[in-house]
Structure 1
Amino acid sequence: MDRLPPLNAVKAFEVAARMGSFVLAAAELGVSAAAVSQQVRHLEQFLERKLFVRAGNRITLTDAGHAIFPQTSRALNDIAAMTTRILEGDLHSRRLVISLPFSLAEPWLAPKLSALLEVYPHLAIDIRVEDDPVDLVRHDIDIRVSYGDYHYPGLEAVHLVRDEALPVCTPEFWATHGNDTFNLTQIPQNLFIHTHWGASYASGPTWHDWFSLIASNYYPDPKQGVRCGLSSLSVSLARLGLGIALGHRLIAQADLDAGRLIALSPVSLPLGHPYCAFVPAAKKSRKDINLMMGLLR
């Protein structure tokens, strides 16, 4: 067999030539621009030809680059098509790896999986519950769902939904502690459940934010009542009758629909960031991933 150039270098060249930029190529490949440039230099050394004219951050193809780019692009597309045919014909041996925060796993993701399994009944699914940031490449993650679009700057952030928070409690709790006008300013401060998002987040909704939204100067003291570190746990505590939670709708909706919880106000507080999905560029053509992404939107 004739000598073959290093595949990683060929791929780096093809993406850089197609995008016209090492920076944009790096974003698609999920590596640094310096790594792309280094791979291109390896290919240039292998071929003993200059493939790009470099002028600061700008690159243009040389005659040699123009000569090999079309064939390189076709060859990589053929390899990708062959890989897709093999993988799509053997779905039962593949695992779809979905990574997301704890709060979304049961109330939001689980109901969506049934639709996917109707299409791919033999598909193995690995659900990983973990906080950001996550190394998608090292841990072979197919889809990462995160709060916010800023965790993985090298990947496209697909906006899924912007959640909202609203006051919820059980009907029994309100019958005991509430009032006919649903006036939360008359509720003792120790009956409010507070969610502490942790030091890494400054945009989590608080009771102070919600009461400010309704132009009230009544602010429940977070030092009183129950305080927890998970938005899903605050809804669970409210479901158990332990107080009034500022529940996220994505988490509380099933309980609201079933009557286990009631909304105490039509006023809801939008979260500071949307939930977003990230898929490594090399996996975007997989049918199971694309179907799952469609279900998540």
Structure 2
Amino acid sequence: MERLPPLNAIKAFEVAARTGNFTLAATELGVSSAAVSQQIRNLETWFGKQLFVRSGNRVALTDAGHAIYPQTARALGDIAAIGRRMLEGGLRTRLVVSEPFSLAELWLAPRLAVLLDAFPQMAIDVRVEDDPVDLMRQNIDLRISYGDYHYPGLRMVRLIHDDVLPVCAPDFWQRYGNDASSLADVHESLFIHTNWGPNYASHPTWADWFSASGGSRAPDPSHGRRVGLSSLAIVSARLGLGIALGQRAMAHGDLEAGRLIAPSSVSLRLGHPYCAFMPASKAERADVAGLVALLGAIPGKVHSGFPSGIAEKQT
């Protein structure tokens, strides 16, 4: 057998490179910061290369560190996957997907249905949770997030950059819009406002929409209907509870089926794209790559079958 580098040092290197911090690496590994530093020194001695540039508590990979990180992460991920499969009693792969609450029902579920239609025996675990999550510790294959800034150490693929537009039920518009009125005539109480929460400041509001459409109206959220999820805003609009600024990707199915209509074509782009994050060791797996391709597909193409080449990758 070829000479191997010290495996404990390789593990310490992978965690330190992923977290960018020896203290965080020590916490994850259950050892002291000094022990992590010693393992890194051992590995640097073994390779004869400096792997990190140290700046206080933070560390950054050198060129040599960047050169070996992808392979070490992939190798450790493969070893961990073997262990999980054996403990589960077989070699069957389980796809673990983590996503925000707002994407679960209206956006991810239809795409998972396409994936499972092609591979009905695939085991999938869907976890709904807020950022940040620890993909390595929680054994997550794929994390979907709003924005491209949450997980700098992981492989990232930009999926879609969504926009919002007014949506409501046909009966609602016939009743309150009278099929001829503009949105400027809709009563203040009938607007659905999405409360994105304290962590988000880049989502457009009704005031932004009216400004973009050439108006000056600014509906007061305290006088209308407020919901805490973008998906709930769409469901509320579908049920005739008001008119919402709905995300196009989430409302697509309802718009296609006629359950929702868009009284105006004016739309506003969200502040950030939705992105997929995955450990480098899992990015080339057929099920992971296949789902990423589906998530980035044009909404109208989702139900017409797999994007080209996905089925052929599955083994």
TM-score (norm 2): 0.73
Separation in 2 of the partners of 1:248 and 1:218? Answer: 21
Deviation at 1:44, TM superposition (A): 5.1
Structure 1 partner of 2:257: 258
Separation in 2 of the partners of 1:43 and 1:237? Answer: 57
Aligned counterpart in structure 2 of residue 52 of structure 1, from 40, 49, 52: 49
% same residue: 54
Separation in 1 of the partners of 2:194 and 2:111? Answer: 26
Structure 1 partner of 2:202: 203
Q: Once the two structures are superposed, what CA deviation does each residue of 1:29-58 show, in whole Å capped at 9, x if it has no partner?
A: 52326568654312356x5xx712589679
Deviation at 1:184, TM superposition (A): 0.7
Separation in 1 of the partners of 2:247 and 2:104? Answer: 14
- After superposition, the Cα gap between the structure-2 partners of 1:279 and 1:54, relative to the gap in structure 1 and judged at 3 Å, is closer
| 1:110 lines up with 2:109 in the alignment | yes
SS at match of 2:204: coil
Structure 1 partner of 2:19: 31
Structure 2 partner of 1:275: 274
| 1:101 lines up with 2:89 in the alignment | no
Separation in 2 of the partners of 1:257 and 1:228? Answer: 24
RMSD (Å), alpha carbons: 3.5
Separation in 1 of the partners of 2:91 and 2:113? Answer: 16
Separation in 1 of the partners of 2:165 and 2:215? Answer: 15
Of stretches 258-267 and 147-156 in structure 1, the one that deviates more from structure 2 is 147-156
Structure 2 counterparts to residues 1-297 of structure 1, below 5 A: 5-10=5-10, 30-32=18-20, 34=22, 38-43=38-43, 51-52=48-49, 93-297=92-296
SS at match of 2:221: coil
Separation in 2 of the partners of 1:143 and 1:271? Answer: 22
Higher Cα Rg, which structure: 1
Q: How many residues matched?
A: 268
Deviation at 1:114, TM superposition (A): 3.0
Separation in 2 of the partners of 1:60 and 1:154? Answer: 15
Separation in 2 of the partners of 1:292 and 1:135? Answer: 20
SS at match of 2:127: strand
TM-score (norm 1): 0.77
SS at match of 2:281: helix
Structure 1 partner of 2:33: none
Q: Once the two structures are superposed, what CA deviation does each residue of 1:167-218 show, in whole Å capped at 9, x if it has no partner?
A: 1111111111114444111111111111111111101221011111112111
Could you tell me which amino acid in structure 2 is paired with residue 173 of structure 1?
F
Q: Which runs of 5+ in 2 are unaligned?
A: 26-35, 55-60, 297-315
- After superposition, the Cα gap between the structure-2 partners of 1:182 and 1:277, relative to the gap in structure 1 and judged at 3 Å, is farther
Separation in 1 of the partners of 2:205 and 2:243? Answer: 12
Structure 1 partner of 2:304: none
Kept in 2, the 8 Å contact 1:96–1:142? The answer is yes
Q: Once the two structures are superposed, what CA deviation does each residue of 1:215-241 show, in whole Å capped at 9, x if it has no partner?
A: 211111111021111111111111111
Separation in 1 of the partners of 2:164 and 2:142? Answer: 25
Separation in 2 of the partners of 1:252 and 1:263? Answer: 10
Q: Which runs of 5+ in 1 are unaligned?
A: 16-24, 62-68
